[in-house]
Amino acid sequence: MELTNTILHLFPKLNEAISKDGINILKHSQQITIPEGTTIFHQGDQCLNYLLVIVGSVKVFTRAENGREIVLYHISSGGSCVLTTSCLISSEDYPVEGVTETDVVALAIPKPIFEQYMAESKAFRKQVFHSYGDRLIKLITLVEEISFAKLDIRLAKYLLENGSVNTPIRTTHQALATELGSAREVISRQLKEFENKGWVLLSRGKIEITNHDALANLLAH
Amino acid sequence: MELTNTILHLFPKLNEAISKDGINILKHSQQITIPEGTTIFHQGDQCLNYLLVIVGSVKVFTRAENGREIVLYHISSGGSCVLTTSCLISSEDYPVEGVTETDVVALAIPKPIFEQYMAESKAFRKQVFHSYGDRLIKLITLVEEISFAKLDIRLAKYLLENGSVNTPIRTTHQALATELGSAREVISRQLKEFENKGWVLLSRGKIEITNHDALANLLAH
DNA sequence: CACTTTTAAGTGACATTGTCACTTAAAGCT
DNA sequence: AGCTTTAAGTGACAATGTCACTTAAAAGTG
């Protein structure tokens, strides 16, 4: 079955859980498809499933009272939602929202099955813990970047990671501000500066990289 | 035994693990005492124990290349070190340091015992997951505060949480800057402003709160 | 005790980033 | 073509961070 292979490829630990521990994940979980732009969880939601993302990407962010937002991390193929997992275990509220950025295919493992797997399979536990560790590192890295790195560096990094000379980035300055935890005007100014230097070409909803090396040079220090 | 009661009081989940699941934590773990100012882990360290803090406090922080530091969180009585736990499981490096802020008494559970408990006791797993969830929330809250909250608010909050009208705070502006992820000069300026308003009294290494309500009023918005 | 050294805090000038109250312009819609 | 919505630009200003110092308190030392 095609899906099985995809899943095993994305979650190597689960492969072990299935082969060694006789865990039949596919049988007891449900494959779900979620359209782009769906809020899959927000503060106060109760969570009844352990979610593994097979295809697509989920944006996890938090919002200040004044409406400003910052993206905490993305869950993409091969990732799982540790916050809902925490909910699963400790039933606490989390001050964050999760929204699908693309159409998403996910595997939902119901809470009782999740707990059974946790008890029975060391490989499954490893997979779950690994997700936790990943998120912790991502969050710590985010804290570091927010508090230490200058915006031009972080912006250049984002541009290089999300586009290249022939593949323009389709996003708004506002979305970028949210991604980097800054303000739209600041991003606009910075991008304009990059444009003046001939490093990018700006148009509504699109950023084209015109000088990759110059941007990369910023990162190199 | 006195220690047993202390531990069970601090870690209610472990109580369950012991009574329900017959886990003999005290027998298989070691009580260790660590003097103040000891670096208990830093980047690249390997970790061989699951650590539960019984008495005292550990400061977990990260450092930028330019030397600036920011405190990520503190592990105090009843807390466990999830980062070393992650290490325990996934053997990855974490870009953080942990230093004891006081003399610390901790319970060290060796890796094999830890894994056995994880397999055998649901309550133990809950305890471990709970720690993870806590850290995740603390980190998310930190990200929110750093990116959204103004410094005067955060500083006032810190002062109120760590001192009162009759118990002065003994710390340096530098340590405070690290705690809040800011720069010493900025903290000094802000404190001086508070002093000019008659809210605090400053001296070398000491901050006395002289107007609790005014500070609290800042937080109230 | 006077002196040197170390550590904490203050200072002013300046750079970066965030905020506010707008304006301008492009893309969609009817 | 004219409206509406959304994206982006703008200038003034506030808040925060950085730098290169100075000042001063505490600790160590002969």
The three-point CA angle A88-A92-A97 to 5° equals: 85
pLDDT, tens only, B159-190 = 999 999 999 999 999 999 999 999 999 999 99
B66 C-beta less than 7 Å away from strand D: yes
For chains A and B, CB pairs below 8 A equal 117
A195 pLDDT above the threshold of 90: yes
What pTM was estimated for this model as a whole? Answer: 0.90
Cβ-proximal residues to B115 (8 Å cutoff; 6+ apart), any chain: A122
Rounded, the Å distance between the CA of B101 and C1' of C1 is 36
Q: Calculate the CA dihedral of residues A75, A80, A82, A87 and round it to 10 degrees.
A: 110
A90 touches chain B (CB under 8 A): yes
B133 touches chain A (CB under 8 A): yes
Predicted pLDDT at A19: 65
Predicted pLDDT at A5: 73
The CA-to-CA distance between both ends of chain B, in Å, stands at 48
pLDDT, tens only, A57-101 = 999 999 887 778 999 999 999 899 877 776 655 556 667 888 999
- Sign of the CA dihedral with A114 first, then A115, A120, and A124 last: positive
DSSP classification of residue A54:
E
Q: What is the largest CA-CA distance in chain A?
A: 60
**% of chain B with per-residue pLDDT over 90:** 52
Question: What average pLDDT does the segment A182-191 reach?
Answer: 97
Measured to protein CB atoms, the chain D nucleotides within 7 Å are: 6-12, 15-20, 25-26
Which residues in chain B are contacts of A140 at CB distance < 8 A?
62, 72, 94-96, 139
- Sign of the CA dihedral with B136 first, then B141, B143, and B146 last: negative
Q: Which residue in this structure is represented by tokens 């970790």?
A: B47
B147 touches chain A (CB under 8 A): yes
The chain-wide mean pLDDT, for chain A, equals 87
Determine, for residues A90 and B144 on separate chains, whether the beta-carbon distance falls below 8 Å: no
CB-CB: which of B90, B136, B148 is closest to A129?
B90
What's the residue count for chain A? 221
Tell me how far apart the alpha carbons of residues B181 and A5 are, in angstroms, rounded to a whole number. Answer: 45
B192 pLDDT above the threshold of 80: yes
Rounded, the Å distance between the CA of B205 and C1' of C11 is 19
A1 pLDDT above the threshold of 70: no
Question: What average pLDDT does the segment B55-75 reach?
Answer: 89
